[in-house]
C-alpha cells in the first residue's frame, strides 16, 4: 500500500477520516495532531486564496512547448 496523507478529525471518542479511504486491517498509521491556531488558520486561508488566484479559470493552459530550457 502506498503512503498517503489523509485528513481526519477526532469526534471525542475516535479518529474519523474526513474522506473514504480503504485501509487494510491492522495497517500501521502515523498520526500528527495540530492544535487549533488562529494564525495557522489565517495562513491557510491566505494560501488557498493565493492558489485560487494563481490557478483561476482565466489562467491560460500551458504546455511543454511553453517551457524554456535554462
pLDDT in tens, the chain (70 residues): 778 889 999 999 999 999 999 999 999 998 888 766 777 788 888 888 888 888 777 777 888 888 888 7
**63 in any annotated domain:** no
For residues 28 and 11, the answer to whether their CB atoms sit within 8 Å is no
What pLDDT does residue 21 have?
A: 93
* Total structural domains within the chain: 1
Q: Is residue 41 assigned to a domain? A: yes
- Residue 63 confidence (pLDDT): 85
Residues spanned by the domain of 32: 28-56
User: Is position 38 within any domain?
Assistant: yes
Asked if residue 61 belongs to a domain, the reply is no
- pLDDT given at position 40: 76
In a domain, 34, yes or no: yes
Is 21 a member of any domain? no
Q: Confirm whether 68 is domain-assigned.
A: no
Nearest to 8 by CA among 38, 21, 26, 48: 21
Amino acid at each position: 500500500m502506498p503512503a498517503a496523507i489523509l485528513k481526519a478529525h477526532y469526534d471525542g471518542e475516535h479518529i474519523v477520516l474526513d474522506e473514504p479511504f480503504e485501509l487494510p486491517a491492522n495497517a500501521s498509521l502515523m498520526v500528527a495532531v495540530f492544535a487549533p491556531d488562529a494564525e495557522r488558520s489565517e495562513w491557510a486561508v491566505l494560501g488557498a486564496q493565493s492558489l485560487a488566484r494563481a490557478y483561476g479559470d482565466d489562467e491560460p493552459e500551458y504546455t511543454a512547448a511553453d517551457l524554456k530550457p535554462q
